[in-house]
């Protein structure tokens, strides 16, 4: 299929399904507030981490290859991220049962939040909602301790994303 035809079909699909791309919140502005249930049934909100940096990463589906690679790299680099004063939060539209199974299978020690309706992903411009299928885009947001969005990552290489976040945190914090 030609690129032109793919673009035409994508446009047609968006018109038929009524899907409009939500915008990513701008850097330097307050990050959208949220409160979601984690894999253990605990309500987690952005306000819970006031005074700490937050690495808020959205992923399409628990326990799929790219999502697993990304989550495991955050797990493996968690000590460095914690030392930099950052809390990792993963978000997908999976239910809490799927999030818990994913966390247990890969020993993920950070909260995985269930955004079943996609409202938080939508607020961050990170939702693919095709009416019949809904999933989060692989986006990450770096939020400072005052709740201000400092950087959005729309193009994520799952094999090196956590090291990219660490480097950016070090630069932003001057360490």
Does residue 67 carry a catalytic annotation? Answer: yes
Domains of the chain: 22-173 (3.40.30.10)
95 CB-near residues (< 8 Å, 6+ apart): 114, 116
For 25-60, what is each residue's pLDDT tens digit?
989 999 999 999 999 999 999 999 999 999 999 999
CA 114 vs CA 5, 40, 62, 131, 135: distances in Å? 36, 10, 10, 19, 11
Looking at residues 99-121, what average pLDDT do you find? 97
Q: What is the pLDDT of residue 21?
A: 53
Q: Which of 67, 103, 127, 142 is catalytic?
A: 67
Strand pairing class (140-143; 134-136): unpaired
This prediction's pTM: 0.87
Task: Measure CA of the first residue to CA of the last residue in the chain; give whole Å.
Answer: 49
Q: What is the 3-state secondary structure (H, E, C) of 71-139?
A: HHHHHHCHHHHHHCCEEEEEEECCCHHHHHHHHHHCCCCCCEEECCCCHHHHHCCCEEECCCCEEECCC
Identify whether the C-beta of residue 153 lies closer than 8 Å to the C-beta of residue 143.
Answer: no
pLDDT at 11 over 70: no
């Amino acid at each position: 299929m030609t690129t032109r035809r793919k673009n035409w079909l994508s446009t047609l699909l968006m018109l038929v399904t009524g899907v409009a791309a939500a915008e990513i919140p701008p850097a330097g502005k307050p990050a959208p507030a949220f409160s979601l249930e984690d894999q253990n049934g605990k309500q987690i909100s952005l306000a819970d981490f006031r005074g700490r940096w937050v690495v808020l990463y959205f992923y399409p589906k628990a326990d799929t290859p790219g999502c697993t690679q990304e989550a495991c790299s955050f797990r493996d680099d968690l000590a460095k991220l914690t030392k930099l004063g950052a809390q990792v939060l993963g978000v997908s539209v999976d239910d809490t049962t799927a999030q818990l199974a994913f966390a247990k299978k890969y020993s993920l020690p950070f909260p995985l939040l269930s955004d079943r309706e996609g409202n938080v992903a939508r607020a961050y411009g990170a939702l693919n909602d095709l009416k019949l299928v809904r999933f989060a885009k692989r986006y990450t947001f770096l939020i400072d301790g005052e709740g201000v969005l400092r950087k959005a990552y729309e193009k994520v290489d799952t094999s090196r994303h956590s090291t990219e976040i660490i480097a950016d945190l070090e630069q932003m914090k001057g360490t």
